[in-house]
Structure formats: C-alpha cells, structure tokens
Amino acid sequence: MNSLVFYAGPFKLNEFGAVSVITNNIFTNYNEKNIDCSIIGFGIHNSFSKEKYNFNHYDILPLYLRSTIFYRILRKIAIKYSNILFQRLRIYSEQKMIIIADKIAAKIVKNILEKDNNIDSVIGLSSMSLSVGITTKKYGKNFIIHSQWCHPSTQNSLVREGYNECFYNKPYNSKTKILRQNLEYDLADYIWCPSKFVENSLLKVNIPSNKLFVSYLGIDVKHFFANSIVTNEQYFTILFVGNICIQKGIHILFNAVKKLETTKRIKIILNGNPDHEASKLIDKFLFDQRNYNIEIEVSFGDPRRFLSKSSVFVLPSLHDAFGIVVLEAMAAGLPVIVSDNVGASELIKHKKNGYIFPSGNSSLLTYYLQTLLDDSKSRTSMGEQSKKIAIHFDVKKTSSNIHDNLP
C-alpha cells in the first residue's frame, strides 16, 4: 500500500472514544516520511504531528457548522421534547447532518484523488460515507467500509427485545440510514469487521465472504495500565462505560444487581451520558432500592479515573460491534463480564479473566457478579490475566494486522 484516505465521519477526531481509537489503529504504524496519507474529520488529530507523520489533515467542522445551522436547531428542539413525533424529527435532522458532512468529505476526496495517483484506498465509516464511496469508485480506487455495527436487520432485532422488556417503544429507525448502509455494503470493495460477531451478521444476509475481513481494534495499553487496583472491602464497585441506554443493556445490569446478596455497600459507576429512557430506569432503580446499600454515580468523560477504583467491569449490551471499553478495562487489570453480543467478548477467556453470559440473561449475570463479590482473590487473579491478554492488543500490533488485511 502506498497511501490512503480515512473519512472519520462527523465526529471530533480527538474525542475520547471509538473514532479516535479507529483513527489510531489505522495510522499508528504510518511513521515513514514518504507516505502521504489524509485524515478527514472534525478537528486535527493531535497524535499525528507533522514532525512525525507526513499526513494531510482536513478539518471539515467550520464548513459543516455553517451548512447545518437549520438542522442543528431542529435537533435541539427535538431533544427538548421526547415524544414519538419529536424523536422522529431528531433522527431526521441527524441524518441530514450526516449526509451534509459526507458530501463535504466527498468533495475533499475528489480533490485528493485528482492530485495524488498513489492513493490506493479510501476508508469510511458505515452509514456515513456513501458519497465518499461513490466518489472513490469513480476514480477506480478501493472503497473500504469500517462496519461500526452489525447488519441493520441483526441490530434492530436484538435491540427491539430490550425495549419490549422495558415497556418502551423501540427507537424509530431511519429508513434513510438503513438504505445508505446497504448501498455502502454493495459499493464497498472490502468491509472491515471489528469482530466475528459483525462478520457473521453480514454473512447471514449473503454479503460475499471475500469482501469481509476481521481485524480487532487495539489501544495504547500503557495509557490504561494500573499498577494496582484500589480495593475497599466495604464496597463492591461495578463499572459500566459507554452510552447509557437500553441497547447497552443497562436494564439487564440493574436486574442483576437487585438480586445480589451481601452486607457490603454496592456502588455502580455509570461512566457515560444517559438517554431519556435510561434516565427513567436509573430513577426507578434508585427508588426501588432506596432501603438497600446500593448507590449509583453517573459521570461522563475519561474512564481512566474510575478504572483503578472499581472491582469489576460489566458491559451487558444487547448489541455492541466491538466495545473498546472492554479492552481498556482489561489493560487496567479488571475482571470483565460481558454479554455474548459484545464483539470484544471474543478476546475474553471465560472463567480465566472474566465471564461471558448469554445476552439478556440477568440471572447468570447475577451469579457471576456474586462469584466475584464473594471472592476477592479471584478478582485479583482474573485482573492479572486481563492485563496479560490486553498486551496482545496493543495498538501497534493491531495496526500492523489491519494493514496486512487492507488491499
């Protein structure tokens, strides 16, 4: 490969989370001066300075903000009100903003491809890069999709069950988003799946296997490594990191914790931003458990400040294509419990560094939590195993593997 272009979608490149991780995984090993790669997104990725990397950064945020004023106003109005009508308005406005960002990025891709014949491939995020893909194919270059989710049919089926269980209406699915996602799959030369879980969902709808490759994401392990986990024998602290919502299985976690038997105080740290339904579930859980030794802390931002204070990490998602937060918790030395619908479960050694339970099975989640609650030695030994596994998924290693899979 000579060089490539990556369109990171309408996300801030330096924001802590998936997009920053994907960017690091693509570009970490591109440190040769003669490789001329391009990153398109919001802001400039500060990990890749001109002194070390010969990268072209294209910040589309200023133009995007000017072009989306009307839709951003609609979105704010829709967020303020939570009924079905306004939910559809929010999704409509968000899709319009994604399409605008994609069209802006496509114009930049066109200019890059016209100036540089050494470009081999353009990578885009699924459901956000259709115009980028069309432009890429016009110039005869490889178009690669990073599939952030399972196929829509799989994702919708898995999430619907959770909303039904909580007696909430399933979120409205944008037909535009699903159409764009399927058109991208058809257009793509290759689809980068972050887990076998995602790959299997695409195989089920007859996407050709020769289009698909699995490459796990990695992290800079040393950024999460903790010399020791602070233990407080009076507290059993459960850490959850991510968007706090039904899709991430927050209701499953609450159902499991209710059934724990202990004299210790239990603390649940929810490191993320709760949506409307999750906020109601949190309030109900706290009201129902008001006479028990259970407390909840909700806080968003960098999860590293919580990792060393926690007893166990839990991600009980109904659907999670990968879940980089699982790997981060492992690098910090925590035992991890995840559902089998979390792509990162493929990195876990069941009963060695954590547990994998069938998605939605809160009783089994209770059993695994109770096991770790009662046995601090197991928590310590599992945490040590987590660190040993995480080392194999340092970003330098995973980045090399991704390059080996790219055309």
Same domain, 174 and 289: no
Same domain, 204 and 225: no
Mean pLDDT of 137-144: 96
Residue 74 structural domain:
3-214
Structure tokens at 93: 């406005």
Same domain, 209 and 244: no
Same domain, 200 and 229: no
Same domain, 313 and 234: yes
pLDDT at 31: 65
pLDDT of 172 strictly over 80: no
Residue 404 located in a structural domain: no
Task: Label residue 128 exposed, middle or buried (CB < 10 Å: 0-12, 13-18, 19+).
Answer: buried
Q: Among residues 165, 183, 214, which one ends one of the domains? A: 214
pLDDT at 65: 96
Residues 318-351: pLDDT tens digits? Answer: 999 999 999 999 999 999 999 999 999 999 999 9
What CATH number corresponds to the domain at position 353? Answer: 3.40.50.2000
Residues 9-66: pLDDT tens digits? Answer: 999 998 878 889 999 999 887 765 556 789 999 998 888 776 667 788 999 999 999 9
Residue of 251, 229, 231, 230 lying closest to 240 (CA atoms): 251
pLDDT at 53: 72
Let me know: does 264 contact 236? Beta carbons within 8 Å.
yes
Residue 402 located in a structural domain: no
Burial code of 19-50, b = ≥16 C-beta within 10 A, e = fewer?
bbbbbbbbbbbbeeeebbbbbbbbbbbeebee
pLDDT at 17: 80
pLDDT at 328: 96
Q: Cα–Cα distances in Å, from 112 out to 90, 117, 118?
A: 33, 9, 10
Residue 191 located in a structural domain: yes
Question: Where is pLDDT greater, at 264 or 111?
Answer: 111
pLDDT at 359: 95
Mean pLDDT of 189-198: 97
Q: pLDDT > 70: what percent of the chain? A: 94
Same domain, 245 and 379: yes
Residue 364 located in a structural domain: yes
pLDDT at 277: 86
Same domain, 21 and 156: yes
Same domain, 336 and 383: yes
Same domain, 13 and 136: yes
pLDDT at 37: 87
pLDDT at 232: 61
pLDDT of 98 strictly over 70: yes
Q: Among residues 174, 193, 214, which one ends one of the domains? A: 214
Same domain, 207 and 310: no
Residue 203 located in a structural domain: yes
Same domain, 39 and 153: yes
Counted domains in the chain: 2
- CA 350-355-356 angle, to 5 degrees, is 90
Mean pLDDT of 304-312: 91
312-315 and 55-59: which strand pairing? unpaired
pLDDT at 84: 59
pLDDT of 390 strictly over 90: yes
Secondary structure (DSSP) of 236-275: EEEEEES-BSTTTTHHHHHHHHHT---SSEEEEEEES-B-
Same domain, 208 and 234: no
Residues 236-288: pLDDT tens digits? Answer: 999 999 999 999 999 999 999 999 998 889 999 999 999 888 999 999 998 88
Residue 400 located in a structural domain: no
Distance CA 347, CA 382 (A): 14
Q: Among residues 197, 214, 231, which one ends one of the domains? A: 214
Where are the strands (E) in 14-66, listed by range? 37-42, 55-59
Within the chain, what is the greatest distance between any pair of CA atoms?
A: 68
Let me know: does 169 contact 220? Beta carbons within 8 Å.
no
**Tokens 């698909």 sit on residue:** 212
pLDDT of 215 strictly over 90: yes
Distance of CA 80 to the CA centre of its chain: 25
Strand partners, 394: 219
pLDDT at 70: 96
pLDDT of 73 strictly over 70: yes
